[in-house]
Chains A and B, each alone.
Chain A
C-alpha cells in the first residue's frame, strides 16, 4: 500500500514532468548553461569589468592579449571585452522582447482564428499570409529606415515579420483542441468563450508555441545582427552585429574584431537552439517515450 501511495505521490503535473525530461537531455542542459552564462554576464558584467565601451582605451586594432586587453581593441581603439558585454545586453534584450512580441501577436491572431473559425478565420489568416509572403529583411529594413533605428523600432520590425509562424501553429493547435471532448464538457458547464480560449484551450496548445518562441529568440538575435551589420541600428548602442558591421573594412588586418562577435552570436544562437530542441523533446508527447 505504502509503495503504491509513493507512486501516486510522485506523479506530477504535465509541465513538471516535461521539466524532468528536459533535465535528462545533456545537450539542452549544456545550451541552458551557456545561455545563463551569457545572460548573467550581460547583467553583472558591466559592474565586474568596469569600462566605457565607447571610450578609446588604446591604439586601434591592438591584437588580443596585448597590452592587457584580453580580446584586443577594435578599429577605433575600443576595448572588445567591454563591447562584447554591452553587446550581449542588447542582443539578449532584443531577442527576448522581439520573441515576446511575436508570441503575443501570434497567439492572439492564431487563437481567435482557430477558435471562432468562419469569416474571422478567413480574414485573420489572409492577413497572416500577407505578412508571411513579405520579404522579411527588406520589410524590416523599410520600417527601420522610415521610423528611425531605435531599439524599440528594431524590436517592432523583427516582431512584425516573425509572428505569422506562431499564428499558424496556434491556429492549428486551436483547431485540433477545440473539437476535443473536454472543451465540449467545459462549454457544457457554462464556461464563457474568453475563458475557453485562454484558460481551457491555450494551456493545452502551449507546448509547440513555447518551442517556437524559444527558437524565435535565436532568430531575432540573428535578425538584429543582420540589420545592424547593414548599419540599420542606433549608433549610440553597441550590439554584436554592429561591431561586425563597423569593423568590416578592417577584416584583413584585424580579423578578430569580426570573428569574436561572430562567434558570440553563433554560440548564443546555438545555445538557444539546443534549449529549444530540448523543450521540443520534453513537451512533445510523441517524442517523450524514446
Chain B
C-alpha cells in the first residue's frame, strides 16, 4: 500500500540575519494510514518546522521550501496553491498546538469554534454543525457537553481546552493529525489522559498521527515509529521499541538515558541518569558538511568533523546517520 504521506529530500531554508540557514536539511519520511509517527529532538531541531511545512504554514517571507516534495494523496503539497491548501487544512490534515491556553479564540464560544470548522469544510447547516459539535465534545470526554458548548474558552481549564482543540482538529475526521507537543503545557496526570484520548480517537477514526515531542516517555507510550531529529537533520529513525532497545545514534542514546523510568522491570539495574552535554548548534552552522552532533559527542573523531555521515541501514528498517553507527 502506498504511504499516506511521503516526504522526500525536503529542504527548508530560513532567512536569518546571518544569511540563509537550512532548518530542515534533506529530510525524507513516510507516514502510513492509521499509524503514529513521532518526531523527537530538542528545541530548535526543526520538528515544528517540518509540521508547519506539511501544513503550508511556514512563516511568510522568512521560511520557504527550497527543494524536495511533500506528497499527499498524489498531490505535491509544496507546490499546491493557497486555496487548495486551505481546503486540505482542517479537513484532511489538521493540527493541535502546544499552548491550549492561547490556542482558542477568546471572543467566541467553543461551540461556535467547533461548528465553524464543520460548516466550512463539510457544508453542514448551523443546527447540524451545532449538534455534531456536542457529539464531538462528548467524544473528547468533556462532561455535560450540552451545557459546556456555550462556554467561552476562559471558563475552561487547560486540559479541557486541549480537549476542545482535539475536537476541532478531529471534527472533519482528517487523514492526518499533527500534534505539536500537545501536552507540554499540561499537568502530568492530564498528559496521560490526553494521550489516551489521542490514541483511542486515532484508532476509532483511522487517523494517522504525527506526534512532535521531546518526551521519550510519550514516544514509547504513543508511537509505533519514530524519527530522531537533530539540527534539522534526521539522526535516526525506525520502530520505537527497536530504537529504545538498541539506539544506533549517540544522540538517541543520550536522549534515552535522560529519561529515568525506561527500564523493563524495577529490579533491573538502573542506568545512571545522564545529560546530553552542550546545546544545539546555532542556525548559522546548520548547513555544514560535518556531523552536527560532533561537538557534543563522546565518539567524535576527525572524520565526524570533516564529513557529513551518510545514512546507515540496519535490519528492521532502522536507519542511523552516524559514522560510528555499527559500533554502537
* Residue in A11, A14, A181, A189 whose CB lies within 8 Å of B89: A189
Which residues of B lie under 8 Å from residue A191 when comparing CB positions?
86, 90, 120
Distance in angstroms between the alpha carbons of A200 and B107 in the assembled complex? 9
Q: Once the chains bind, are A11 and B155 in contact (CB under 8 Å)?
A: yes
- Say if the beta carbon of B94 comes within 8 Å of chain A: yes
B104-A11 in contact (CB<8A): no
Residues 181-211 of chain B, each 1 if its beta carbon lies under 8 Å from chain A, else 0: 0000000000000000000000000000000
Check A203 against B107 for contact (C-beta < 8 Å).
yes
Contact B89–A182 (Cβ < 8 Å): no
Quick one: which of B60, B98, B102, B152 contacts A180, CB cutoff 8 A? Answer: B102
Report the minimal beta-carbon distance from B140 to chain A, rounded to whole angstroms. Answer: 16
The reply on B280 being an interface residue by CB < 8 A is no
A184 CB–B CB distance under 8 Å = yes
Q: A155-196 vs B: 1/0 string, CB under 8 Å?
A: 000000000000000000000000011101111111110000
- Contacts of A118 on B, CB cut-off 8 Å? 61
Q: Are B152 and A189 in contact, CB atoms less than 8 angstroms apart? A: no
- A8 lies within 8 A of chain B by Cβ: yes
B105 touches A190 (CB 8 A): no
- State whether the Cβ of A2 lies closer than 8 Å to any Cβ in chain B: no
The answer to whether B224 has its CB under 8 Å from any CB of chain A is no
Q: In whole angstroms, what is the CA distance A185 to B102 when docked? A: 10
Residues A190 and B121 in contact in the complex (CB < 8 Å), given A11-B152, A11-B155, A181-B97: yes
Which of chain B's residues have a CB closer than 8 A to the CB of A204? 105-107
Q: Which residues of B contact A182 (CB under 8 A)?
A: 102-106
Q: Is B262 an interface residue (CB 8 A)?
A: no
What residue in chain A is nearest B100 (Cβ atoms)?
A181
Q: Are A190 and B120 in contact (CB under 8 A)?
A: yes
- In the complex, B244 has a CB within 8 A of chain A: no
The A contact surface, by secondary structure, is: helix
The A-contacting residues of B in range 51-69, CB under 8 angstroms, are 55, 57, 60-61
What 0/1 readout, one digit per residue, does chain A (212-244) give for beta carbons within 8 Å of chain B?
Answer: 000000000000000000000000000000000
Q: Is the beta-carbon distance between A200 and B151 smaller than 8 angstroms?
A: no
A232 to chain B, nearest CB (A): 42
Say if the beta carbon of B45 comes within 8 Å of chain A: no
Closest to A206 in B: B107
B165 (CB) vs chain A CBs: closest residue:
A185
Q: Taking A181-B97, A185-B97 as contacts, is the C-beta distance between A190 and B87 under 8 angstroms?
A: yes
Q: Of A8, A13, A189, A203, which contacts B90 at CB under 8 A?
A: A189
Of the candidates B60, B87, B97, B152, the one whose C-beta lies within 8 Å of that of A13 is B152
- Docked complex Cα distance between A8 and B142 (Å): 14
Which of A12, A187, A188 has the most chain B CB within a 10 Å cutoff? A188
- With A13-B107, A184-B57, A204-B105 already in contact, the answer to whether A190 and B152 are too (CB < 8 A) is no
Taking CB atoms, residues of chain B closer than 8 Å to A185 are: 95, 97, 103-104, 165, 168
Interface string of B76-93 (1 = CB under 8 A from A): 000000000011111100
Bound form: Cα–Cα A260–B186 in Å: 64
B222 contacts A by Cβ under 8 Å? no
**Contact, CB under 8 Å: A8 / B147:** yes
**Contact between chains at B168 and A189 (CB < 8 Å):** yes
Could you tell me if A190 and B91 are in contact, using CB atoms closer than 8 angstroms?
yes
**Cβ–Cβ < 8 Å partners of A203 in chain B:** 105, 107-108
> When chains A and B are docked, how far (Å) is the Cα of A13 from the Cα of B110?
11
Across the A-B interface, the 5 shortest Cβ-Cβ residue pairs: A189-B90, A190-B90, A190-B89, A188-B95, A181-B102
A-B contact pairs, 12 of them (CB 8 A): A11-B152, A13-B152, A117-B61, A181-B103, A184-B57, A184-B97, A185-B104, A188-B97, A189-B90, A189-B169, A190-B91, A204-B105
